Chain A
Amino acid sequence: MDMNEIKEIFFQECEEQLAELESGLLKLNDGDRDPETVNAVFRAVHSIKGGAGAFGLEELVAFAHVFETTLDCVRSNKLEPNQDVLKVMLKSADVLADLVTCSRDGGSVEESRTRGLVKELEALANGEALPVAEAPKAAKPVAAAPAKPTDDSGFQPIPFTFDGFGEEEKVVEQFTYEVTFKPTRELYSKGNEAALLLRDLSRFGEMGIACDMDQLPTLENMDPEASYFGWKISITTPKSEEEVRAVFEFAEWDCELEVKPAEASEGEELPMIPVPFDLSSLDDEPAPQPETAATEEASANVVKAVNAAVEKKESAAAAAAAAAAATQNNAAAAASSAGQTIRVDLDRVDRLINLVGELVINQAMLSQSVIENDNNGVSSINMGLEELQQLTREIQDSVMAIRAQPVKPVFQRMSRIVREVADMVGKQIRLVTEGENTEVDKTVIDKIAEPLTHMIRNAVDHGIESPEKREAAGKDPEGTIKLSAKHRSGRILIELQDDGGGINRERVKQKAIDNDLISPDANLSDEEIDNLIFAPGFSTADKISDISGRGVGMDVVKRSIQALGGRISISSRPGLGSTFTMSLPLTLAVLDGMVVTVAGQTLVVPLTAIVETLQPEASAIHSFGANQRLISIRNSFCPLVDVGRILNFRANQANPVDGVALLVESEGGGQRALMVDAIQGQRQVVIKSLEANYTHVPGIAAATILGDGRVALILDVDAVVGASRGQSLKPEMSLAAAG
Chain B
Amino acid sequence: MAAKKAASGKLALSAVLDLNEASVLHGKLMSMRGKDIVIDASAVERVGVQCAQVLVAGATAWQADKKSFLVEKASDAFEKTMALIGISETQLIAKEI
Contact = CB atoms under 8 A, between A and B. Distances in A.
Nearest to A299: B6
A303 B85 contact: no
Interface in A18-68: none
A295 B4 contact: yes
A291 B89 CA distance: 26
A229 B85 contact: yes
A303 B96 CA distance: 15
Interface stretch (A257-265, A275-283, A503-511): A275-283
A224 B84 contact: no
Contact of A294 (B14, B26, B60): B14
B85 A282 contact: no
A287 B89 CA distance: 26
A299 to B, nearest CB: 3
Nearest to B19: A188
Contacts of B60: 216, 218-219, 312-313, 316
A294 B7 contact: no
Contact of B63 (A202, A306, A313): A313
A311 B95 contact: yes
Interface stretch (A2-10, A206-214, A553-561, A718-726): A206-214
B95 to A, nearest CB: 6
A160 B14 CA distance: 48
A251 B23 CA distance: 23
A193 B22 CA distance: 13
A182 to B, nearest CB: 11
Given A209-B84, A273-B83, A312-B95, A281 B49 contact: no
Contact of A301 (B1, B2, B6, B43): B6
The secondary structure that dominates the A interface is loop
Given A195-B49, A218-B57, A222-B53, A295 B43 contact: yes
Contact of A316 (B22, B83, B91): B91
Contacts of A281: 76-77, 80
A110 interface: no
Interface string B25-64: 1100110010000101011011111101110111111011
A582 to B, nearest CB: 56
B72 to A, nearest CB: 4
Interface residues of A, number: 58
A224 B54 CA distance: 6
A302 B73 CA distance: 8
A677 to B, nearest CB: 76
Given A198-B84, A229-B52, A306-B89, A295 B73 contact: no
Contacts of B1: 291
A219 B26 contact: yes
Contacts, number: 183
A11 interface: no
Given A194-B49, A275-B83, A291-B2, A213 B16 contact: no
Contact of A290 (B6, B15, B29, B87): B15
Which of the four size classes fits the interface of chain B? 35 or more
Interface string A289-310: 1110111001101111010101
Among A211, A293, A304, A319, the most chain B Cβ lie within 10 Å of the Cβ of A211
A306 B12 contact: no
Given A188-B50, A275-B84, A287-B45, A294 B73 contact: no
A291 B14 CA distance: 7
B94 A194 contact: no
Nearest to B90: A315
A284 interface: yes
Contact of B16 (A210, A282, A290, A301): A290
Contacts of A127: none
A223 to B, nearest CB: 9
B89 A282 contact: no
A217 interface: yes
Contact of A217 (B57, B70, B84): B57
A457 to B, nearest CB: 58
Interface string A690-701: 000000000000
B37 to A, nearest CB: 11
A670 interface: no
A566 interface: no
Nearest to A183: B49
Contacts of A155: none
A220 interface: yes
B42 A298 contact: yes
A432 B31 CA distance: 74
Contacts of A213: 56, 91
A268 interface: no
A219 B57 contact: yes
Given A222-B53, A308-B95, A301 B86 contact: no
A654 interface: no
Contacts of A202: 84
Contacts of A310: 90
A319 B56 CA distance: 13
Contact of A312 (B52, B53, B77, B93): B93
B40 A219 contact: no
B7 A219 contact: no
Contacts of B16: 286-287, 289-290
Interface in A152-210: 183, 188-189, 193-195, 198-199, 202, 209-210
Contact of A220 (B15, B30, B70): B30
A248 interface: no
A302 B72 contact: yes
Contact of A282 (B72, B81, B87): B81
A411 interface: no
A498 B71 CA distance: 77
Nearest to B70: A306
A228 interface: yes
A276 B83 contact: yes
22 contacts: A209-B84, A211-B86, A219-B58, A224-B25, A225-B22, A226-B50, A231-B85, A276-B80, A282-B80, A286-B45, A290-B14, A290-B15, A291-B14, A295-B4, A295-B6, A298-B40, A299-B4, A299-B7, A303-B70, A312-B60, A312-B63, A315-B88
Across the A-B interface, the 3 shortest Cβ-Cβ residue pairs: A294-B43, A211-B86, A299-B6
Given A225-B19, A276-B80, 20 more contacts: A183-B49, A195-B49, A218-B61, A219-B57, A224-B25, A224-B54, A274-B83, A275-B83, A279-B80, A282-B80, A289-B16, A291-B1, A291-B2, A294-B42, A303-B38, A304-B70, A312-B93, A313-B60, A316-B60, A316-B91
Interface of A: 183, 188-189, 193-195, 198-199, 202, 209-211, 213, 216-220, 222, 224-229, 231, 272-276, 279, 281-282, 284, 286-287, 289-291, 293-295, 298-299, 301-304, 306, 308, 310-313, 315-316, 319
Interface of B: 1-2, 4, 6-7, 10, 12, 14-16, 18-19, 22-23, 25-26, 29-30, 33, 38, 40, 42-43, 45-50, 52-54, 56-61, 63-64, 70-73, 76-77, 80-81, 83-91, 93-95
